[in-house]
Chain A
Amino acid sequence: MLKSLRRRTLAKVAGLSAGMMMVGMVPTQAQDVVIWGGFPELAGYYERVAESLSDKYPDLNVIVEPIGLRDHEKRVALGLSSGLEDATILELIGSTANRYIVNDLLKPAPDSVQDFVNDDANFEPFFQETATVGGSVYGVPVFRGQGALFYNTDMLAAAGLDGPPKTMEEYSDYASKLTQRDADGNPTVSGWSLRLSGGGGGIAEKFWINLHQFGGSLLDKVGDGYKAGYANEAGLATLRQYVNAVSGDKTVTVDMPADAAAFQREQTAMFIRESWVIGDTAKKAPDLNYKTTLLPRGSIALPVNLYVSGGTEEAQKAAWDFAIAANQPEHLIWMLDNVGWLPNRSGVDYASVTEAKPQFSAFVDLPDDYVFFTLPSIEPINEILTRFAARLVDAYADENLVGDDAAMMAVLEAAAEETNTILDRASILAK
């Protein structure tokens, strides 16, 4: 009797616990969190972060789906405007995300994430601001693109130059000394590779980096509005340097190989680029002797943040946890070391990386007065850059501009008028 009672109770308990297990299974069901990124080289980094979360979220299934930046931006636009089904972590440049935020397509981050980002021990105000709109934090900063000067140490030594250039005047001077020429005097190795042609706004962005060194800015913020900031002495000095390099000193030509590939092939002695070049060079030209150095005044910084949208509340929570876990020092060090993008979190010791790869120090060991600038979060930014770029391409190739400051100023003024017209159409032209 007792036996059978016990057996019955046991059966009941077993049944109950089985039932509880069933109930318990619902919230711990495999959770899909999708990561949409625009930088395929970061896939390994995200996979590492996902692995480190497997203790806390045993059923978390992180699906990393990176694709080229242009296509990424397109799918984000479509996905956000039509609603995402899975909880999705979106890797977005701050200025791009801003468009979605003002159109109510992204929600503010939960309180715990707000606290994490707003903690000054974690991020500098510059990075907090790029993740914040209207006082609320919308995303978690991760990494940034930033420039530095890369220079070929063998070529500098051969030209008798001791150490890298420090001022923009020295840049021109170095470029002349570093240029190698054939018997007819045509450059075969450029002294300083400049972006003179190619697609899209990159040409104007590079111009902006040089302009920044002269103390100027492509767009000036005045009150709530903007206006073209380059039809002035700083702009003229920048354009003069370009025009003189191409048609005056002839230290570079429009049709010479350029950029990272030219540097790796030893077809140019110096150029300004982001930190990814270090990893790329290790792979493609491991024997190249080169160093990096800070730019005279400061650099562009394009911060990329992680945002979350779509999916169940539970999955969203896991997604935000992922964004915070992505900022663990060990993952950030791994990213710098293996991918070459620059993490934004403060207080992480990168010495282990910069000792092994000293070229990174010009990106992470920055003096306090190093001035960052970034692209403003305004809708027509790309249009302003591409239209200005088209004018610059023609100006760079125009030999008649050499030594003619008035003509160069006229080019800048005409371009500035166009820039202001675009700003005006978007109702953000400063009065």
Chain B
Amino acid sequence: MQRRRKFWFAIAAILPTFLIFGWVRMYPIAETLRLSMFEWNLLSKNKLFVGFSNFRELFGDDQFLDALTNTAIIAFGAMAVTIPASMILAAVIYHRTKSRFAGFYETAVFIPHVVSLVPAAMAWKWIFDAKLGPLNAVIVGLGGEAQPWLFDPVLSVVCIIVLVSWQTLGYGVLIYLVGFRNLPKSVYEAAKLDGASGIQSFIFMSVPLLKPITLYVSVVTLISGFNVYAQAYVLASDTQGAPGRLVRVLVLDMLENSFQNFRVGYAAAEAVILLTVVLLLTIVQFGLLRQKGGK
């Protein structure tokens, strides 16, 4: 009886959001994905049904496979940097909450997340510059060898991971800070009485207690990592006289296929693959970070 009442409350409460989602997300997405079975040039009134031929072509398309690999590396790379870095940074900032600099720390870490990419990229190209960049200056100063960061096939991917992480770090720190502030303080006080050090209570208390937050940050960074494209574009753009190697990523390939090559169906087929791959990865993440209480 009570269960039924709860069920109907839940349905009624979620219905408006669900309807909006249906209208502004699910319907246009379904419309787009449906096109993966068609050949369409964006303008013509006719859409030619081609079955699975777009998918067959995709698996023999080196450019697409290259994009898929690069995107996966960038997504996992950015996730591997962002999660530990933002958790530790948030812990330290949280520790200094009472400091008069706390506001400055949070703001400084967050602002890169909201700043315009194109002018910021100018600075990044300088940092990565092979001849005059500060990064190579530091490396050479430490006895290493200068690297052509933006031109080497491997290093140019690293550059994108760095740029993406710089942008995402503030997001992660913000979320973790909320997590830390919401942790029950009584548990910490008990641990302190038992003689646990700050680092011990971070590792043995905070990290497990923050599992739901870590799940959130890892899913969000992975999904956004798979959606990266502007970063690859600005680092390769030559408008500032310092071009770079274009790292082909999935969304860039998709947008190019639909808006410049006018192969909307083909781009939609790429979107279907993206959806499948990322959905599977997300399910794995939910499995790995499952904890009691969360269904």
Contacts and interface: CB of A to CB of B under 8 A. Distances in A.
Is A–B contact present in the complex under a CB 8 A cutoff? Answer: yes
A338 interface: no
Interface stretch (B75-83, B84-92, B93-101, B234-242): B234-242
B73 to A, nearest CB: 18
Contacts of A81: 42-43
A406 B77 CA distance: 40
B241 A197 contact: no
Interface in B110-164: 130-131, 148, 150-151
Contacts of B291: none
B233 to A, nearest CB: 6
A379 B262 contact: yes
Contact of B246 (A198, A258, A382): A198
A255 B241 contact: no
Contact of B237 (A105, A198, A264): A198
A258 B238 contact: yes
A259 interface: yes
Contacts of B240: 261
Interface residues of A, number: 34
Contact of B259 (A74, A80, A264, A265): A74
A380 B41 CA distance: 10
Most B CB within 10 A of own CB, among A255, A257, A380: A255
A155 B170 CA distance: 48
Nearest to A379: B262
Nearest to B44: A103
B65 to A, nearest CB: 13
Given A77-B259, A257-B242, A199 B237 contact: yes
A351 B257 CA distance: 44
Interface residues of B, number: 30
B44 A198 contact: no
Contacts of A199: 233, 236-238, 243, 246
Interface in A247-275: 254-255, 257-262, 264-265
Interface in A71-120: 73-74, 77, 80-81, 99-100, 103, 105
Contacts of A380: 261-262
Given A77-B42, A81-B43, A257 B233 contact: no
B238 A105 contact: no
Tell me if B's interface is mostly helix, strand, loop or mixed.
loop
Contacts of B257: 383
Given A99-B43, A197-B151, A257 B63 contact: no
A257 B260 contact: no
Given A197-B236, A380-B261, A262 B241 contact: yes
A103 B43 CA distance: 7
A78 to B, nearest CB: 9
Nearest to A262: B241
Interface stretch (A25-33, A356-364, A385-393): A385-393
B265 interface: no
Contacts of B262: 99, 379-380
Contacts of B131: 255
Contact of A197 (B45, B244, B259): B244
Contacts of B150: 255
Nearest to A394: B153
Given A197-B243, A259-B241, A379-B41, A254 B233 contact: no
Contacts of B151: 197, 254-255
Most A CB within 10 A of own CB, among B243, B244, B262: B243
B256 interface: yes
Contacts of A265: 241
B242 A261 contact: yes
Contacts of A258: 238, 241-243
B136 to A, nearest CB: 11
Contact of A390 (B63, B238, B243): B63
Contacts of B237: 198-199
B246 A200 contact: yes
A35 to B, nearest CB: 22
A73 B259 contact: yes
A198 B236 contact: yes
B242 A77 contact: no
Nearest to A382: B260
Most A CB within 10 A of own CB, among B41, B238, B245: B238
B236 A255 contact: no
Contact of A255 (B42, B148, B256): B148
A197 B245 contact: yes
Interface in A173-213: 195-200, 202
A89 B241 CA distance: 32
Nearest to B45: A103
Contacts of B260: 382-383, 386
B135 to A, nearest CB: 14
A197 B246 contact: yes
Top 10 closest pairs, chain A to chain B, by CB: A261-B241, A198-B243, A198-B238, A383-B261, A103-B43, A199-B236, A382-B260, A255-B148, A255-B151, A255-B130
27 contacts: A77-B42, A77-B43, A81-B43, A99-B41, A99-B43, A197-B245, A198-B237, A199-B236, A199-B238, A200-B246, A200-B256, A255-B151, A257-B242, A258-B243, A259-B238, A259-B243, A261-B242, A262-B241, A264-B241, A379-B262, A380-B261, A382-B256, A383-B257, A383-B260, A383-B261, A386-B260, A387-B63
Interface of A: 73-74, 77, 80-81, 99-100, 103, 105, 195-200, 202, 254-255, 257-262, 264-265, 379-380, 382-383, 386-387, 390, 393
